[in-house]
Structure 1
Amino acid sequence: MTHSIPISPIESWVHKKISAPGARLTREALTRYQMARVQETLDHALERSPFYKKAWRTFAGKKIKAPSDLHDLPFTKPEDIQNAPLGFLTVSQDEIARVVTLNTSGTTAAPKRIFFTEEDLELTVDYFAHAMADFVSAGETVTIFMPGDKPHSIGQLIRDGLNRIGVEGIVAGPVSDPHKACGLIANTGAACLIGIPTQMLHLARTHRKSAAPGQNIRSVILSADYVPRSMAQAIESAWGCRVFDHYGMTEMGYAGGVACRGECGYHFREADLYLEIIDPASGRPVNDGEPGEVVFTTLTRKGMPLIRYRTGDKARFSPHPCPCGTVLRRLDPVLGRTTGGMSLKNGSVLTLPELDEALFSVPGLLNFTAELSGDSENKGETDILRISLLTVPTATATARYTARQQVAHIDTIIRAMDDGALSLAELSTDCRPRGTTGMVKRTFTDNRSPRQQIWKR
C-alpha cells in the first residue's frame, strides 16, 4: 500500500533499535521487545532501586510475557518521587549527569527531582535526531525557544540532535522580548521553530508573516504544554505554516512522541517507553478509542527507571491506523489533565482546556487568566467566573466582545448558567508594550475555598 504522507521516521528508528527482522517493523515484534524490556526493567529496579526493592518486594520473580501481565503491578505515583527521589536511583549519584527539579502546578506538594545519566540523555538526543528528520533537512536552521542555559537542558539536547542530521539548531531560550525573537528568526532564516505554545502564538499574532519572521518558516513544533487546536490554527493562519505537537514530560526523559505529517496524534519512541491508557478511577486498562490516564514504563532508562508511572494526563489510543501508514501506535492529542477542573455548584466541572479552545480562537488574544469566586450577595450559592484577557493593542475591544460570546457558548457554562449556578462577570483586558510580553502561563484559580487552588498551563 502506498501513502501520500511519508511514514513517520520514528518507525524505522524503532525498527533499527530493537533489531527486529524483516523489511518493515511489525506490531508483534515490537510487543515482544517491549515485554522483554519491561521484564528487565522490573528485575533491575527490584534489585537496585531502594524504593522498588522495599515497596514492590512481593513482585520479585514476577514474569512479564504479555501486556496483561502488567495489570496487577502497582502504579508509581508522582508523590512517590516527591517523598523520596533518591529511592528511585539504580546507580550511584556519581553517575548522574543531570538533575531536574520540577514544581507541581496546582498543589503545595514538594517538588519532584528527576535524575539522568549520560546514557539516558543520549537516548533523548538520538530520538530528537530521528524525529526532527520529518520536518527539516540538512543545511536548514531551526530556532529553539526552549530553556537552554544549562548543560543537558532541553534546548541543548534538541540542538545536539539536530546537529547529527546536519541541521543548525539555535538555542534562543524562552521568549522574553518578541521583537528581538522575531528579529532572530528573520536573521537566521529559520525553516522551523520549536517553542512553548502561548509564546509562539504571541509571536504569530504580534509579528505576522509579512513582518519580521520572514518567509522561510515551514513548520512550528509546539512543546512543553497542552496545545488547543484553536491555538495551532491561529499560528498556521498567521504564518502560513504547519503546526505540529510534541508530547513529552521530564519524567519520560523530556521526549515522548510527536505528530507526523498526518497531524492526527503522536507517534512515540516505543523502543524506550511502553504506554498504557487506564481508567483513572479503577486503574484498569481501557479499550483503544476510550479516553483515560496516560501511564508509562521506561524500557531503557539506566539511572532512574519508572514502572507504570501515572502522568495525570488524559488521552486515548486511536483505534484507527495513521494516514502515514506506520505500525506505531497513535496517541490522540492530549485532552488536558484527569484532574484539575473546577467543580461548579450544579455538579458539572469546568476545565482549562474548555476555556482554551474557546478563547484562543479569538483574534488578537495572546493569553488569559481565569478565576472562580463565590457570590457573597447570594450566600455563596452562585459561582462567579472572571476572565482577564491579554491582547494585542489593536484588538482590545473586539477581543473582549468576541471572547465573551465564545465563553458563553461552552456547554458546561451554558448548563451552569441555566441552573443558576454560575454567572459570568464582565471580561477585563490588558494590552502591554511589545517588550513586556506577560508570557506567564495561563492560570485557572479557585478562590472559593480558604485553600486556594491554582491550575497552570
Structure 2
Amino acid sequence: MEERDDVLHMPHDQIEAMQLEGIKKTVVACYENVPFYKKSFDEAGFDPYSVSSLEDLSRAPFVCKQDLRDEYPFGMLAVPREDVREIHMSSGTTGVATVGAYTEHDLKFWAECFGRGIAYAGGGRSDVVQICYGYGLFTGGLGAHYGSLFSGATTIPISAGNTERQIRVLREMGSTILCCTPSYAMHIADTAIAMGLDPARDFHLRAGIHGAEAFSDNFRAELERKFDYKVLDVYGLTETMGPGVAVECMEQDGLHIAEDHFYCEIIDPATGEVLPDGEWGELVITTLDREASPVVRYRTRDITRIIPGECACGRTHRRIDRLHGRTDDMLIIRGVNVFPSQIEQVMETFDEVSSWYQIELTTKGHLDVVTLKAEVNPDFDFDSTGAIEQLQGRISAELKAALSVGVRVRLVEPMSIPRSEGKAKRVIDLRGENQ
C-alpha cells in the first residue's frame, strides 16, 4: 500500500485545520441526530454551532461507556438503521454490551487506518498477513482483515485457537506479518518451542502487530527474541472504531494517531482538565468523520500521554505513548491504589522470572490479600527450595517498597499459568467468594 503522503506527512497546522472541520461536523451531527447528545449538550450549556477552535471542544461534556450501554442497542445511531452495513459489540463481560455501527464510509476508513499499520510494518502486496484475532462481534479480527486487504497483502483469516494449526500455517504459508494479542503470540512461540521448533529460524515473520491488551517492554523484547521480528503496538476500541486508531511504526517510539479521523485529548481523570502534551492522564477521543456511531469526548479510561515532538520516521501525526494501564483497572488494596502495571514494572527487574503472571485477590478476615503468581524462566533451578524462597522474598520486598502494600509472591514452574487464545487474564479477584 502506498502511503498517502498528503495526509501522513502534512504540516500539523493543516492537520489541526482538518480536525477542526471534522469536529464541527461531528458535534452538529450528534446534536441533530442523537437524542442523547442533544440532551447532554443542552444540560452542559454546550452550543455545537459555536465551535470555532479546537479548544472549544473542551466545553463539551464527556461521554462514557455506561452512557453507551444505557442507549443499547440503537440509541446512539446518528444515521437511519438502514444505512448501517455492519455491527460490532464489546464483550459485555462487565455489563450490557456497547454497540459499534458502521456505514460503508466507516468501513472504508477503518480499513485504511489498520492498513496504515501494515504499511508502518513495511508490509504490502508481497506480504502474507496471518490474522489470529478472533473474528465476529469482537472488532479485532475483521479490523485487521480489512486493513490487510487494503494494504494489498495476501490475507489468512485463520482467527484464534488451534495453536498447532497456526504453527503449521506460519511455516507452510510463509506468513510475514502476525496479527493477534501479544499474549497469544507468546503462546504460539512457546508451543512451537515445545514442539521442537525454533520460531526465529522455522518461521518467516518480519513483524507482529499486537494489541487488545497492554504489554511491557520486557514482554516485547522476549517476543522479539523468540520470533526474531519487530513487535508493533496497535490501539483501538469498539466505541471509537476498533483497532487502528493508533499504530506504532518501526521506530517503536509511540503509536501514531490517525489524526485525520480522530482527535485525542489527555485529561486529568479526577478533574477532567485537559493536560498539555507530555503529561500522563486519561485518553479522550472524538471521532471526526464516523457516520453511524460518532462519539464526542469519549472517556476511554486508558492511561497514556501525547508524546511531544515529531517521530523520527517523518510522519507528522501525533503519537500516544504505550498504555500504562486503565483507570478502571486500579486495585484498591487496604486503601492503597495499585495498578497491575506497577507490579509488572517491578517484575521486569528480576531476570529469573518470565513475563507470565497472575494477580490473585482474596480476603483473610477483613483484610485484602494480594498474591502474585509468576513463572520462573526455564533456566532457573525450580527444585531448589532455598533459591525459590530467597527469590520470592526479594520480589516481595521490592513490591512492598514500590507499592506501600504487602504482596505475597508465589513462584511457579514455566508454562504452568493458563494461556489464552485472546486477552490474557491478569487479575483474578476472589474477594467476593467464600474463602
CA distance in 1, matches of 2:178, 2:323: 21
Match of 2:223 in 1: 235
Match of 2:134, SS state, is coil
Contact 1:142–1:169 (8 Å) recurs in 2? yes
User: Is structure 2 residue 266 aligned with structure 1 residue 281?
Assistant: no
Contact 2:395–2:409 (8 Å) recurs in 1? no
Q: Give the Å deviation of 1:298.
A: 0.5
Contact 2:79–2:292 (8 Å) recurs in 1? yes
Contact 2:183–2:419 (8 Å) recurs in 1? no
Contact 1:279–1:293 (8 Å) recurs in 2? yes
Q: Give the Å deviation of 1:438.
A: 4.7
Match of 2:303 in 1: 314
Question: Which digits, 9 at most, give the CA deviation of each residue in 1:314-340, with x for residues without a partner?
Answer: 000112332223221111111110232
Contact 1:205–1:392 (8 Å) recurs in 2? no
Match of 1:201 in 2: 186
Residues 66 and 416 of structure 1: CA distance in aligned 2, closer, same or farther (over 3 Å):
closer
Q: Give the Å deviation of 1:349.
A: 2.3
Question: Which digits, 9 at most, give the CA deviation of each residue in 1:265-314, with x for residues without a partner?
Answer: 01011111111001111111111111010001011111111000000000
Residues 203 and 280 of structure 1: CA distance in aligned 2, closer, same or farther (over 3 Å):
same
Match of 1:386 in 2: 371
Match of 1:126 in 2: 112
CA distance in 2, matches of 1:223, 1:355: 20
Match of 1:455 in 2: none
Match of 1:426 in 2: 410
User: Is structure 2 residue 148 aligned with structure 1 residue 162?
Assistant: yes
Match of 1:89 in 2: 77
Task: Look up the equivalent residue of 1:249 and give its one-letter code.
Answer: L
Match of 1:101 in 2: 89
Match of 1:180 in 2: 165
Match of 1:252, SS state, is coil
Task: Look up the equivalent residue of 1:422 and give its one-letter code.
Answer: G
User: Is structure 2 residue 209 aligned with structure 1 residue 224?
Assistant: no
Match of 1:14 in 2: 7
Q: Give the Å deviation of 1:101.
A: 2.3
Match of 1:110 in 2: 96
Report the RMSD for the aligned CA atoms in angstroms. Answer: 3.2
Count of matched residue pairs: 422
Q: For 1:6-155, what aligned pairs fall within 5 Å after superposition? A: 12=5, 14=7, 25-57=10-42, 58-85=45-72, 86-104=74-92, 108-135=94-121, 136-148=123-135, 154-155=140-141
Residues 283 and 104 of structure 1: CA distance in aligned 2, closer, same or farther (over 3 Å):
farther
Contact 1:11–1:25 (8 Å) recurs in 2? no
User: Is structure 2 residue 426 aligned with structure 1 residue 443?
Assistant: yes
Contact 1:343–1:350 (8 Å) recurs in 2? yes
Q: Give the Å deviation of 1:159.
A: 2.9
Residues 160 and 423 of structure 1: CA distance in aligned 2, closer, same or farther (over 3 Å):
closer
For structure 1, the residue ranges without an aligned partner over 5 or more in a row are 1-7, 16-23, 453-457
Q: Give the Å deviation of 1:202.
A: 1.5
CA distance in 2, matches of 1:268, 1:127: 9
Contact 2:358–2:427 (8 Å) recurs in 1? yes
CA distance in 2, matches of 1:257, 1:282: 25
Q: For 1:312-391, what aligned pairs fall within 5 Å after superposition? A: 312-345=301-334, 347-359=335-347, 365=354, 367-376=356-365, 380-381=366-367, 383-389=368-374
CA distance in 1, matches of 2:409, 2:70: 41
CA distance in 2, matches of 1:366, 1:171: 28
Q: Give the Å deviation of 1:373.
A: 2.3
CA distance in 1, matches of 2:202, 2:182: 20
Contact 1:36–1:64 (8 Å) recurs in 2? no
Residues 373 and 148 of structure 1: CA distance in aligned 2, closer, same or farther (over 3 Å):
closer
CA distance in 1, matches of 2:266, 2:297: 10
Per the normalisation by structure 2, the TM-score is 0.86
Residues 415 and 141 of structure 1: CA distance in aligned 2, closer, same or farther (over 3 Å):
closer
Task: Look up the equivalent residue of 1:44 and give its one-letter code.
Answer: A
Contact 1:100–1:113 (8 Å) recurs in 2? yes
Question: Which digits, 9 at most, give the CA deviation of each residue in 1:425-448, with x for residues without a partner?
Answer: 534457469xx8554622313444
Match of 1:252 in 2: 240
- Using the aligned pairs only, state the percent identity: 23
Match of 1:3 in 2: none
CA distance in 1, matches of 2:233, 2:394: 24
Residues 206 and 358 of structure 1: CA distance in aligned 2, closer, same or farther (over 3 Å):
farther
Task: Look up the equivalent residue of 1:12 and give its one-letter code.
Answer: D
Residues 99 and 53 of structure 1: CA distance in aligned 2, closer, same or farther (over 3 Å):
same
CA distance in 1, matches of 2:180, 2:394: 27
CA distance in 2, matches of 1:100, 1:406: 46
Q: Give the Å deviation of 1:146.
A: 0.9
